[in-house]
Structure 1
Amino acid sequence: MPEVTLRQMRYFVAIVDLGSVTAAAAACHVSQGAASMAVADLEKAVGVTLLVRSRSRKVAPTAAGVEFAAHARTVLEQVEEAQEAVRDQGGAIRGLLRVGVSLTMSPRVVPPLIEHFTTEHPLVELSFVEGAPDALQEQLRAGRLDLALLYSWQTDPDLEQIQIASVRLHVMLPAGHRLADQDSVWLRDIVDEPAVLLDVPPTAERMITTVESAGLAIQVGWRSANMDTIRTIVGRGLGYSFANSIPATGATFDGHKVVYKPVADKTPANAIMAVVPAGQKLPRRVKVAINALKTTEPQR
C-alpha cells in the first residue's frame, strides 16, 4: 500500500490554502508537475478524492479534503515543533506565525507584534490577516491561522481563550459635544442621539444588547465597517459611537476631532483575548507572541 509522506501533505495543504496548483508550486519552490504528482500519489494512498479540479485550473477541497487538510496541518506543525525542539534547544525561534486579528483591534496589536518579532526573533516569519471575528475563528479551526486576537465578546466557546488585557467601553463624541468635558458618560445621557455602529458582526448587535440591558433603547443612525468613516461621521457632529481601542489622537480623516469618554454604566466585562485551537499544544512562537502582547498591553 502506498505511504503518505510529509512532502505530499505539505503540497496538498498549500494547494488548499492558495486555491491553485500553480500558486502552491511557486510557494513550495517546486514545479507544477511535481506538486500535481504529489497530490495524485496522496489520493492513491488515502483512497479518496481530495481535490476537485475545474476548467479554470482552480481547485477546491472535497469534504474529505477539508478534513484531511486539518489533520495534515496538525501533523506538519508537530513535525516542525519536533525539529525546533532538537535544533534550537531553547535558542532561536523560527518558522511561520500566522495571526488573525479583528479589524478594529489591528492598529493596537499588530505594530508592536511586528516590532517584537523583527527585533527579538527575526527568524520567525510573521504574517497576519485582518477580518471579521467569525471568519477568523473559522480559519483558526481549519488550521489556516495559529492565533487569533479578538475581544472576548467576539469569541466562540469551543476555542481556547487566553486573556491579554482588560478593556473598558468608551463613548466616542465630537470634540465640541455637550458631554465632551465630562470624566465619563452615562448611556441615558446619550442614547437619544443617533448612534454610528461598527457593522462587523457581532459588534453592532452586542452594542445594542448592552444598551438594552441598561433599560434603554439605542437610536441607530448609521452603520459602517470602517472605523475611520465612523470617526469622521462623529467628528462632524452627526452622532456618537463606541470604542474599546482608543487611538493616541482624536483626529479624523478630514481634520475634525473626537474624544473618548469611559461609559459610566456597568457594562459586561470585555478583554483582548488570544484565541487558539482547544486542546492543542502551543508552538513556542505562539507562546512568545502571547507573552509579548501581555507585556506591551496595559490593563485599561
Structure 2
Amino acid sequence: MVSLIQTLAVAEYLNFRHAANALRVSQSSVSARIKALEEDLGIPLFERNTRGVRLTEAGRHFVERVAAGVDQLDYAVKTASLAASGDCGHLRIGLHGLIPGSFLDGLLTRYRAEHPAIAVEMVEGSARDAVKQLRAHRIDVAFLVGMFDLPDCHSRPIWTEPLVAALPSNHRLAEQSGVTWTNLAGETFLVRHGGTGPQVHDHIVLRLAGRWPPPAIQRFEVERGTLLSMIAQGFGITLLGAASGLFPTGGVVFLPIVDEPEPVVFSAVWLPQNRTASLRNLLALANKMGRSTQSN
C-alpha cells in the first residue's frame, strides 16, 4: 500500500524529491520502493531523465486504476468508521403500528434527526411475528406491547400508556368521563388477528374471567384503521393504548378504564449478539426519552 501511495505522489508531482517532501519521507526511500514495485510488476511505470520523470503509457493506466482503488478504499474506511459510531448504515424496526404524536413516533423522529445517514426500515406485525423476525435476523429491534422474558432475547420496558376503551360515539357510555370493567362486561369486543390483537384478546379474557356469560370476542384480519371504522359503525368496542386518541377517528370515542390497575407497558426486544452502534444509539435515546416522560 505504501508503494502505491508513493507512486501516486510521484505521478502527481513528476518529481521524486517533491513527492518525497510532500510525503515527509526520504527521496531514496521513494525511489527504492517504486523501483521494487516496477520489478515486481515487470513493467516500467516512469521514464527517468535529468529533467525529472514522466509516466510511461503502462504507468498512466496503472496510476489511473490505483487512484480509483485508493479512493474506494478511503471511502470504505470512512463508511466503516461511521458505521462503527452509528452514524451511517441501516436499522430495521419491528412494531405494532405507528401513531402520529405517540412516544414511538417522537422517538423515531428524533433518532432520524440525530442520525440522518441511518436508513430506518419499519416492519409492522404482531409480537409473535416480530420475535420470529428478530430470531431470523431480519429486524434489529422490536417495540412491542407487554413485558418479555425470552431466553434468547434481551428486553427492556421503555414507556407506558393508560389503557382506553374505543366505543362508537353514539354508545350508551360515550358521554361518561371513564368506564369500568363492569360497564364493559356485556359488550362485544373486536380484536385484530395481527398487531396488538393477541394481547388485547388475552387481556379481555383475564379481566372478565369468571363472569357469565363469558366475554364476546370477535377476531378480524383487518388493519387498525378498518377496526376503528367497524367500531364507528357499531360492530362493537375494543381496547387500545391511550396514544390512539391522538389520531382521532370519526364516530369513535376513547374513554379511560378507571379501574384498570396498571398502564400498558411497551418494551424493546432485541438479540444480545446485535451490538451495532446504530441499535445502541436508538436504545440509549429511548431510555433517555422514557426517563424524561416519567419525570414529567
Both proteins in one fold, TM over 0.5 = yes
| 2:245 corresponds to 1:250 | no
In the TM superposition, what is the alpha-carbon distance from 1:205 to its structure 2 partner? 3.3
Structure 2 counterpart of 1:125: 119
Distance apart, 1:238 and its partner CA = 2.9
Aligned partner of 1:293 in structure 2 is 286
Q: How many residues align?
A: 211
Choose the corresponding residue for 1:266, options 260, 263, 267.
Answer: 260
RMSD value over aligned CA atoms? 3.2
2:91 partner SS: strand
Contact 2:111 2:285 in 1 (8 A): no
| Letter in structure 1 aligned against 2:172 | R
Whole-angstrom CA distance in 1 between matches of 2:270 and 2:226: 31
Task: Give the residue type in structure 2 aligned to 1:143.
Answer: H
Letter in 2 for 1:287: R
Match of 1:157 in 2: 150
Deviation at 1:131, TM superposition (A): 1.5
Contact 1:210–1:268 (Cα < 8 Å) also in 2? no
Residue 275 of structure 1 pairs with residue 269 of structure 2 = yes
Which has the higher mean CA deviation after the structures are superposed, 204-213 or 188-197?
204-213
**C-alpha distance in structure 2 between counterparts of 1:145 and 1:133, whole Å:** 13
Which residue number corresponds to residue 219 of structure 1? 216
Deviation by residue 1:109-162 (Cα, 9 ceiling, x = unmatched): 664344324321112121121122112111111222111111115x45222111
Q: Tell me, in whole angstroms, the C-alpha distance in 1 between the residues paired with 2:237 and 2:206.
A: 15
Residue type at the aligned position of 1:198? R
Structure 2, unaligned runs of 5 or more: 1-76
Q: Which has the higher contact order (CA 8 A, sep 6+)?
A: 2
Question: How far apart, CA to CA, are the structure 2 residues paired with 1:151 and 1:258?
Answer: 22
SS of 2:227's equivalent in the other structure is helix
DSSP-derived class of the 1:96 partner: strand
Percent sequence identity is: 21
| Alignment-derived partner of residue 10 in structure 1 | none
**Against the structure 1 CA distance between its residues 89 and 258, is the aligned structure 2 distance closer, same or farther, given a 3 Å change threshold?**
closer
TM (normalized to structure 1)? 0.60
What SS does the aligned partner of 2:90 have? strand
Rg (Cα) greater in structure: 2
Indicate the SS of the match to 2:260.
Answer: coil
Deviation at 1:91, TM superposition (A): 6.2
User: How is 1:2-21 mapped onto 2 (pairs within 5 angstroms)?
Assistant: none
Letter in 1 for 2:201: E
Q: CA deviation at 1:180?
A: 2.0
Structure 1 residues 114 and 99, CA, compared in 2 at 3 Å: closer, same or farther?
same
Cα separation, 1, equivalents of 2:93 and 2:149 = 17
Show the 5 A alignment for 1:1-300.
87=81, 93-103=87-97, 105=98, 108=102, 111-152=105-146, 155=148, 157-158=150-151, 159-200=153-194, 202-213=198-209, 215=211, 217-221=214-218, 223-244=220-241, 245-251=243-249, 256-267=250-261, 270-278=264-272, 280=273, 282-296=275-289, 298=293
Instruction: Note closer, same or farther for the CA distance 1:166–1:118 as it changes in structure 2 (3 Å cut).
Output: closer
Distance 1:222 1:123 in 2: 40
Q: Give TM-score, length-normalised by structure 2.
A: 0.60
Q: Is the 8 A contact 1:106 1:130 kept in 2?
A: no
Residues 124 and 221 (structure 1), Cα distance of their counterparts in 2 relative to 1, 3 Å cut: closer
Q: What CA distance in whole angstroms lies between the structure 1 residues aligned with 2:206 and 2:259? A: 10
Name the CA shift for 1:274/1:214 in 2 (closer, same or farther; >3 Å). Answer: farther
